[in-house]
Structure 1
């Protein structure tokens, strides 16, 4: 017994979502393995456009795709480096914790001096 095309569309959406998630991961051996496995499933789903799958085939592929999604999430969590809270970030003298230069450089006068200097340089050349 074949299934309706709504399942095919859902499978295509799931494959597309997994492709995007895998692309966001950093380069790793695990990512390449997951992408290779996803490629196989993608070919199967594309074939379903011409030949409708039987219900048990669709269920089996959905189980595999959901398993692949869980492994992708685990890989994403494992590849994220721990982030220190902002107040614990190391600072460079003269710079704030966010990496911007301190309040002196943010004053409009210093910006005006800088642009006047670059305008004078342009005029002289």
Structure 2
């Protein structure tokens, strides 16, 4: 009886050690997978940031080459108005949101209305 209990105790100790070793190996593998995912995500983020920087520089070059002089407030206003217009907000609602006269909104949107209307004509002609 004593030998049986001692044997069972030794077997349970060995199984416990085996279980701990197996779980630490699995944890290491999982940790390595998480590290690889983190590294690939960071590479993608860096790539996107680089693309954004390049687009911003290209934009600045185009603005300088075209000779357009806009303040940062004017750039922001035009960007926001154009965004709202492209999302099909009415000119009146854009003017109300931005607290600007509708004539100013029409001036900002005018170059883009022709492009937007032309696309509709081509699609509807078929």
For CA contacts below 8 A with separation 6 or more, give which structure has more relative contact order. Answer: 1
Whose helix fraction is larger, Structure 1's or Structure 2's? 2
TM-score by length of 2: 0.31
Q: Which has the larger radius of gyration?
A: 2
